[in-house]
């Protein structure tokens, strides 16, 4: 659904996005992670035909980003939640959505139905005639998401949807995005919240002007930090640790009753490790695979 | 090239009108200007005619005063769009509502047209409403002195022909100004500079260096039309998606 090849944006001498090549499948939720200034918003703006690309190519569906003839078609098939909600605070929730519905040529009846559907789904129907300026941050964010969905777009770009929201409002917005995911909509999510990416996204890409890594959160964790197992024992002693090292494994963490061991394939390597522990007099209580948090992976990548 | 969609442009203007209804300054201007200019000037003339008793305004000098008063409709046409267009564009900047708007299928030209309509309509309505009140009351108070109805006349017709051109100039200038400032009041103050040349002309006409006669008004209309076209293209260059998102302060 979204394809870019060597997509680049320069502002004078500053390269904001450098040779970005990525593919997002139809119905996929793709998380774009990166620190502030990494080029996430610039990428979204290019893909939404808001700013021009310097070089490279990008396609949304069958339409070419940067091709004048395709620009309107792309804008019709996408919905954008901008980093700042940008609502008309003097207008009611209903009027905000009705205004945007007009640009997508929805007839009055269709607009009414769509507004009612979205506001009810987001729990704002009772407040439909209240000025948006009086809403809480979470309510405004929900209304802005409804605005992005007014024309039922195939592709949804969400730029930092939970930034600056309190935990409760963040959860409401995240739950709503998960609902949208069920509808098999393609969602491109810009975020710097790793927890959010992990909970929502099928795949993530880590951007720091260049795309540094892509994959599922699990794949990234594995590829960058390797795999680890934690062996819980009745008691740990030097003999046990030495026995494990002797058969070629690295023990990365030792406590009174547990060991963290670096492995490449737990399925085939665990029996040998357990055998060595038993042989050294250890009593294994249980074994679990532990993954490093996406945050560790992210920091490792971003800090280079 | 996409054909201009007037419905989308109108939707932008209609949305602005809804917002203006909640702005006391806009309401104030829309209501107060026609009343002040339309009622106050005829009252001044009425007062001068009565206290003059032969020494003040006479039937011979009366038309000159009335023509001078009518120039205030040109000054109004230059000043009011600055107030209203500032709310329209700087307001969008403050609320950061331009980016979502630019992400819709509307063209830059349609948004600009919508903004121009919303910036023009209210000041023009105020100017025309004020001129109707002004002409009616002036005729009422001067008929007995002049012995004929002074209004409507070609002079007022020329004034009301130039007024929309000045309004348009003021709106287009405000679009350019709005791209550089982030504060409604600053945009209004800078926009009001558009009225300075007309104040200047008014003063020079009062001291006899310039005459707001029909011919000069038509020449003025021609000059302002040319400036309108130049400023329109300048505002088109300013009002482009990429420019707005990356360069507008």
Give the residue, A58 or A252, on which the prediction is more confident.
Answer: A58
Instruction: Specify whether the CB–CB gap between B214 and B154 falls below 8 A.
Output: yes
Chain-chain contact of A72 with B2 (C-beta, under 8 angstroms): yes
Q: What is the mean pLDDT of residues A63-81?
A: 91
Written as six digits, the tokens of B33 are 């200007």
**In this structure, what are the phi and psi dihedrals at residue A84, rounded to the nearest 5 degrees?**
-100, 135
* Chain A contact present for B25, CB below 8 A: no
Q: Mean of the per-residue pLDDT values for chain A?
A: 89
List chain B residues with CB under 8 Å of A76.
105
Closest Cα of chain A to B6: distance in Å? 11
pLDDT score of A225 more than 70 = no
pLDDT band at A172; cut points 50, 70, 90: confident
Written as six digits, the tokens of B39 are 């009622």
Closest Cα of chain B to A144: distance in Å? 9
Closest Cα of chain B to A203: distance in Å? 25
Chain-chain contact of B105 with A103 (C-beta, under 8 angstroms): yes
Q: What is the mean pLDDT of residues A110-135?
A: 93
* Chain A contact present for B24, CB below 8 A: no
Tens of pLDDT, residue by residue over B148-164, are 999 999 999 999 999 99
List chain B residues with CB under 8 Å of A141.
none
Closest Cα of chain A to B34: distance in Å? 26
Q: Please, how many CA atoms are within 13 Å of residue B191, restricted to the half-sphere of its CB?
A: 37
Closest Cα of chain B to A179: distance in Å? 23
Q: How far apart are CA B138 and CA B131, in angstroms?
A: 10
pLDDT at A304: 65
List chain A residues with CB under 8 Å of B18.
90-91, 95
pLDDT at B124: 92
* Chain A contact present for B236, CB below 8 A: no
With vertex at residue A293, the alpha carbon angle to CA A289 and CA A295, rounded to the nearest 5 degrees, is: 165
pLDDT band at A42; cut points 50, 70, 90: very high
* Chain A contact present for B11, CB below 8 A: yes
Chain-chain contact of B18 with A50 (C-beta, under 8 angstroms): no
Closest Cα of chain A to B81: distance in Å? 20
Measure CB to CB from residue B245 to each of A45, A72, A104 and give the nearest one.
A45
pLDDT score of A244 more than 60 = yes
pLDDT at A217: 80
Strands, E assignment, chain A: 2-11, 14-24, 29-33, 55-60, 63-64, 78-81, 155-159, 186-191, 203-208, 210-215, 227-233, 250-254, 258-263, 284-290
Q: Closest Cα partner for A163 from A133, A136, A199, A190?
A: A190
pLDDT score of A170 more than 90 = no
Domain boundaries of chain B, sorted by first residue: 24-246
Closest Cα of chain A to B213: distance in Å? 45
Give the largest Cα separation in chain B, rounded: 68
* Chain A contact present for B60, CB below 8 A: no
pLDDT band at A68; cut points 50, 70, 90: confident
Measure CB to CB from residue A103 to each of B11, B97, B242 and give the nearest one.
B11
pLDDT at B249: 62
Domains A2-215 and A222-302 share a fold: no
Chain-chain contact of A50 with B102 (C-beta, under 8 angstroms): yes
Measure CB to CB from residue A99 to each of B11, B103, B242 and give the nearest one.
B11
pLDDT score of A90 more than 80 = yes
Give the residue, A148 or A293, on which the prediction is more confident.
Answer: A148
Instruction: Specify whether the CB–CB gap between A56 and A19 falls below 8 A.
Output: yes
Q: Closest Cα partner for A2 from A43, A35, A41?
A: A43
Measure CB to CB from residue B100 to each of A45, A86, A104 and give the nearest one.
A86
Chain-chain contact of A84 with B105 (C-beta, under 8 angstroms): no
Q: Closest Cα partner for B196 from B82, B103, B88, B29?
A: B82
Domain boundaries of chain A, sorted by first residue: 2-215, 222-302
| Angle in degrees, 0-180, between the axes of helices B108-146 and B72-95, rounded to the nearest 10 | 150
List chain A residues with CB under 8 Å of B99.
50, 80, 82, 84, 86
Chain A interface with B: residues with Cβ < 8 Å: 11, 45, 48-52, 68, 72, 75-76, 78, 80, 82, 84-91, 95, 99-100, 102-104, 144, 147-148
pLDDT at A224: 62
First to last CA, chain B: 29
List chain A residues with CB under 8 Å of B104.
75, 100, 103-104
* Chain A contact present for B95, CB below 8 A: yes
Chain-chain contact of A78 with B103 (C-beta, under 8 angstroms): yes
In the predicted model, residues of chain B with pLDDT beneath 50 are: none
Tens of pLDDT, residue by residue over B50-74, are 775 556 678 888 898 898 899 889 9
* Chain A contact present for B249, CB below 8 A: no
Hey, which residues does A288 pair with through a beta bridge?
Answer: A230
pLDDT band at A65; cut points 50, 70, 90: very high
pLDDT band at A157; cut points 50, 70, 90: very high
**Chain B residue nearest residue A73, CA to CA:** B105
Chain-chain contact of B22 with A86 (C-beta, under 8 angstroms): no
In this structure, whether the domain defined by A222-302 belongs to CATH 3.40.47.40 is answered with no
- Provide the CATH number for the domain formed by A2-215 in this structure: 3.40.50.300
**Chain A residue nearest residue B98, CA to CA:** A86
Give the residue, B206 or A112, on which the prediction is more confident.
Answer: A112
Chain-chain contact of A100 with B2 (C-beta, under 8 angstroms): no
């Amino acid at each position: 659904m979204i394809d870019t090849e060597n997509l680049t944006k320069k502002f004078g001498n500053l390269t904001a996005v450098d040779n970005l090549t990525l593919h997002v499948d139809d119905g996929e939720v793709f998380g774009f992670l990166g620190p502030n200034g990494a080029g996430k918003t610039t990428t979204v703006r290019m893909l939404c035909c808001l700013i021009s690309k310097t070089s490279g190519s990008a396609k949304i569906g069958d339409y070419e980003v940067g091709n004048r003839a395709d620009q309107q078609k792309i804008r019709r098939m996408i919905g954008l939640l901008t980093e700042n909600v940008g609502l008309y605070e003097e207008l009611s929730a209903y009027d905000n959505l009705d205004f945007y519905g007009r640009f997508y040529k929805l007839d009055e009846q269709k607009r009414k139905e769509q507004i009612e559907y979205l506001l009810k789904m987001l729990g704002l129907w009772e407040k439909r005639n209240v000025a948006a300026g009086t809403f809480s941050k979470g309510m405004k964010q929900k209304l802005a998401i409804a605005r992005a969905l007014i024309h039922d777009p195939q592709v949804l770009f969400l730029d930092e949807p939970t930034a600056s929201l309190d935990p409760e409002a963040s959860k409401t917005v995240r739950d709503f995005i998960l609902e949208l995911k069920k509808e098999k909509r393609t969602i491109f999510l810009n975020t710097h919240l790793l927890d959010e990416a992990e909970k929502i996204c099928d795949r993530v890409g880590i951007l720091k002007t260049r795309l540094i890594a892509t994959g599922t959160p699990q794949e990234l964790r594995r590829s960058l930090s390797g795999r680890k197992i934690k062996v819980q024992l009745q008691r740990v002693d030097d003999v046990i640790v030495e026995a494990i090292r002797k058969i070629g494994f690295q023990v990365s963490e030792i406590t009174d009753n547990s060991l963290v061991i670096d492995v490449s394939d737990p399925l085939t390597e665990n029996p040998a490790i357990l055998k060595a522990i038993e042989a050294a007099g250890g009593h294994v209580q249980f074994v679990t695979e532990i993954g490093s948090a996406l945050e560790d992976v992210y920091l490792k990548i971003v800090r280079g | 090239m996409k054909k201009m969609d007037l419905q989308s442009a109108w939707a932008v203007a209609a949305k602005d009108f809804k917002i203006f209804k909640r702005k006391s300054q806009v309401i104030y201007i829309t209501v107060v200007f026609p009343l002040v200019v339309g009622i106050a000037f005829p009252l001044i003339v009425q007062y001068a005619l009565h206290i003059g008793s032969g020494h003040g305004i006479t039937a011979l000098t009366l038309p000159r005063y009335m023509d001078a008063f009518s120039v205030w409709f040109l000054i109004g046409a230059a000043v009011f769009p600055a107030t209203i267009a500032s709310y329209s564009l700087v307001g969008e900047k403050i609320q950061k509502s331009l980016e979502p708007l630019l992400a819709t299928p509307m063209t830059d030209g349609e948004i600009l047209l919508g903004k121009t309509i919303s910036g023009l309509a209210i000041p023009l309505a105020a100017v025309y409403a004020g001129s109707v009140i002004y002409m009616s009351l002036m005729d009422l108070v001067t008929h007995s002195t002049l012995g004929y109805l002074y209004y409507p006349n070609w002079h007022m017709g020329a004034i009301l022909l130039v007024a929309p051109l000045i309004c348009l100039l003021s709106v287009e200038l405000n679009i350019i100004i709005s791209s550089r400032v982030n504060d409604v009041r600053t945009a209004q103050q800078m926009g009001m500079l558009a009225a300075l040349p007309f104040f200047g002309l008014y003063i020079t006409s009062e001291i006899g260096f310039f005459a707001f006669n029909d011919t000069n008004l038509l020449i003025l209309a021609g000059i302002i039309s040319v400036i309108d076209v130049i400023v329109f293209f300048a505002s088109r260059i300013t009002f482009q998606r990429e420019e707005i998102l990356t360069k507008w302060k």
